[in-house]
Structure 1
Amino acid sequence: MNAFRWITLTALAVALAVPFTRAVVAADFVDPLSSPAIQSEKAVNGTFTGVARAGKRVIAVGQRGHIFYSDDNGVHWHQAEVPVSSDLVAVQFPTPTQGWAVGHDGIVLHSDNNGETWTRQLDGRQVGQIMLEHYQRQAAQDEALLADAQRMIDEGADKPFLDVWFANEKTGYIVGAFNLIFRTDDGGQTWLPLMDRTDNPGALNLYGMRAIGDDLFIVGEQGLVLKLDPASQRFVNVPTPYSGSYFGVTGTPGAVLVYGLRGNVYRSVDHGANWEKIELGLSSSITASTVTADGRIILVSQAGHVLVSADDGAHFTQQPQTRLGPAAAAQAIGSGSVVVAGAQGLRQIPFE
């Protein structure tokens, strides 16, 4: 892995760049992995960077370990019980009751009750040791991976996970900084490192992961797009025309879209073999996406633009409402509304 550096997270939408190590630690510093999230009614107006559906419930995650849920499509919010105060970045529920959230300090949280309470499954204090033990057991040991694992142990819990995706309540993945990627097949009880199974020799940051149709994609910095090859169980490189960072991937069974810096969106209708640029007429970075129940694709920009496509992402129409300010995540909640999360809290926005 590279030495300490800054990266732009999915939370670029809130104009934050967060260092992965703390250069100065105050004498009264409290480890966020050792302190639960503070219960506060005002927290709902803070910064949120991830939002997802859990059945009919909407779940949002954000700074200082704050997780809120709504049972009326974002009109009213209630705070969940969370055992850490680490900044959270992403959340996903493959079933109405079972969900996972990830974030800074290598934290992975799990809920089995529709997001009301959460438990710790993994944190950055364990990640390096898991990597080291796994790669030590391999017959043909990779010295670079062993060195990376030892460095993770030495540097402590300073690397974030940036996205999570589960196919069901047992099998899922977490991805993050410097090519961090793990898989579980037992609902997060154990985690398998997959750093040796990605075509990512530069250990570029992995920002987003989603299944589109039968394909599982990962996107990251410097134009990185990876797709799981089922035969080899390896994430192979998928070339695209753009060399800037992609922050997310979305789409329908007929089309996959990757999006990122400076309004760049590319679309493929042949499983990633060929890509075309989708012109949005924006220079703002695209930081979030969601798909409605009827298949419309929604993109949200760093500046708060909301764009909607009804033709599998071939064309987008910008919505006329007032800009929302920095946006980091979006979740469709009905045929004509979306919950947008960002620096100004959580807002329910209608669209046409």
Structure 2
Amino acid sequence: MKYKQIFSLSLICSLGFFGANAEQSYIAPLAKKSLLLDIVKAQNGFVAVGERGHILRSQNSVDWVQEPVPTLSTLSAISTVNGKSWAVGHDAVIVHKSSEQADWEIQYFDPDSEKPLLDVLFLNESEGIAVGAYGSFYRTTDGGNNWTKELHAQLLHPDDVLYLEEIRLEDETFYQEELVSILPHLNKVDLVNDVLYMAGESGLLAKSADFGRTWQRMDVDYFGSFFEIKGLRNGNIIAAGLRGNLFKLEDENEGWSKIDSGITASINTLVEGPNGSFYAMGNSGFIVCVSGDEVKKRHLDDGIAITASVSVDDGFLVTSAAGLKTLSSDEQLNLCERDE
């Protein structure tokens, strides 16, 4: 299986947390030290999500409060707009909080699908999408009161497209069944200057100019899974995935170019640094700093897998297999000054 954060899926399965139901999550004293998979800057602070339906909120990145959530399903990703929040995860669950003072509520839940949702992105308070395993793609135009499932054959490898077109000429029903079965896992989306970019399984990188209603698959010399895609302020697009694979798009006419990350651990998250630099973080506690043509790496002593990251005044705030962690500015600066 090649879901987002492969290590985390394996860990969840081994602990028996993969499947859950729409029961209330319980307040766990050690929730901030549990497996957490995503973190975002919110209107007033930060929000992190993870296993057992855990959602934690902080106003200062230091003091965290776990919020009651009506699910035990592992939550993979979160998106916030103007104080409103949506989190998605296993059992195709989507939970929503209409304000920072409101309670979380379930908007969508389909455990029978056995297709975890892996990312969510809202354009505004009304329009949003959720994506996940086996081509799962849901759209809302009313803030999540209703979610519509979509299938996007444009995300398939060209060879699969030809195969499906032949089938469709003979049997539309069989075509639909095959389309659902061979769509790749959709791991991550990011909106950059009104263009939506997607990263996924089997070398999938794609872009959309209409918020995901139509897609154009992008050529890249790599057939493994991408777990992260991110636009930088300088206009560059960065994609990262399995075994330290890292690619950069500076000019669409020239296409994607490979960056030698110097590591073989999977990269799960990207965060922008100063002056066009960026950091790639992932499994086994590896962090890579890329500044121009210079690439430096560091291995954190604890070796804990980093799953998501945001920048804060004193460095980085990250989620990991062992919960929340702050990487200080000293660690951040030292990373770009030394190699291993």
Alignment of 1:292-303 (within 5 A): 296-303=277-284
Q: Distance in 2 between the 1:117 and 1:231 partners?
A: 29
Following superposition, the deviation at residue 328 of structure 1 comes to: 1.3
1:78 and 2:65 aligned: yes
Q: Distance in 1 between the 2:212 and 2:89 partners?
A: 29
Which structure is higher in RCO with an 8 Å CA cutoff and minimum separation 6?
1
Match of 2:189 among 209, 224, 227: 209
Following superposition, the deviation at residue 182 of structure 1 comes to: 1.4
Change (3 A) 1:124 1:163: same
Match of 1:121 among 103, 107, 111: 107
Question: Unmatched 5+ residue regions in structure 2?
Answer: 161-181, 334-340
Following superposition, the deviation at residue 194 of structure 1 comes to: 2.1
Which sits farther off after the overlay, 37-46 or 284-293? Answer: 284-293
Percent identity, aligned pairs only, is 26
Alignment of 1:15-54 (within 5 A): 16=10, 32-54=20-42
Aligned residues: 302
Match of 2:115 among 159, 167, 180: 159
Q: Distance in 2 between the 1:342 and 1:167 partners?
A: 27
Following superposition, the deviation at residue 306 of structure 1 comes to: 2.2
Which sits farther off after the overlay, 251-260 or 107-116? Answer: 107-116
Alignment of 1:182-201 (within 5 A): 182-196=138-152, 198-200=154-156, 201=160
Supply the RMSD in Å over aligned alpha carbons: 2.6
8 Å CA contact retained: 1:105, 1:158:
yes
Quote the residue 2:55 is aligned against: 67
SS in 1 for 2:230: strand
Change (3 A) 1:331 1:251: same
8 Å CA contact retained: 1:80, 1:115:
no
Q: Distance in 2 between the 1:288 and 1:196 partners?
A: 25
Q: Deviations over 1:173-194 (max 9, x none)?
A: 1001110111111111122222
Q: Distance in 1 between the 2:138 and 2:120 partners?
A: 10
Q: Distance in 1 between the 2:256 and 2:218 partners?
A: 10
Q: Distance in 2 between the 1:112 and 1:231 partners?
A: 22
Quote the residue 1:280 is aligned against: 261
Match of 1:218 among 189, 198, 203: 198
8 Å CA contact retained: 1:13, 1:287:
no
8 Å CA contact retained: 1:297, 1:309:
yes
Change (3 A) 1:349 1:15: farther
Following superposition, the deviation at residue 222 of structure 1 comes to: 0.9
Following superposition, the deviation at residue 290 of structure 1 comes to: 2.4
User: TM-score, normalised to structure 2's length?
Assistant: 0.81
8 Å CA contact retained: 1:174, 1:181:
yes
SS in 2 for 1:68: strand
